[in-house]
Chains A and B, each alone.
Chain A
């Protein structure tokens, strides 16, 4: 079985500053990795995914993440955040078989003016 740990429950940052949201996972098999964003009173929207190939993955809204197999990490980064990036961010992992997904507890990103 897989598990996901998001190392920061809350990340406050000023507008136009860079941000990194940290995610570590554990699994005995090869996995797919995902980042989702959730705005208030909405469902989850896929930001980006790592399935195979290049370890640097680019997603929507200027976000990117890097898969590090040796450190079992998949940290999310953005070089310059906007007020509109304020939301809850979830890291998720699924195995390559059945594909059932495990989610982290979420990181609340708050961008201040």
Chain B
């Protein structure tokens, strides 16, 4: 079974700062997918970014980027130029290559962007 650990229950930064959210995972799989999801107060789960484990290049999506360290089983999310709208819960998630067992989520990090 896979496990995903997010060690920061809550973080707070000023608007326009850069913030990094941590995620580690444990698996015996060699190929898999990793994701970051955002959940604002509306409760909607929104896909932020995805990474295929067989790709060495770190994924980027506009202000969001990841630092994927496969050997260390680490998958951190960096948000640059943070905005008030980035305030949300952020969940790290793991999925096996065949999709069996769906997504395994961490417990989340509550990110607060202060004006």
Is B one of A's binding partners?
no
- Residues of B at under 8 Å CB distance from A? none
Name A residues whose Cβ lies closer than 8 Å to a Cβ of B.
Answer: none
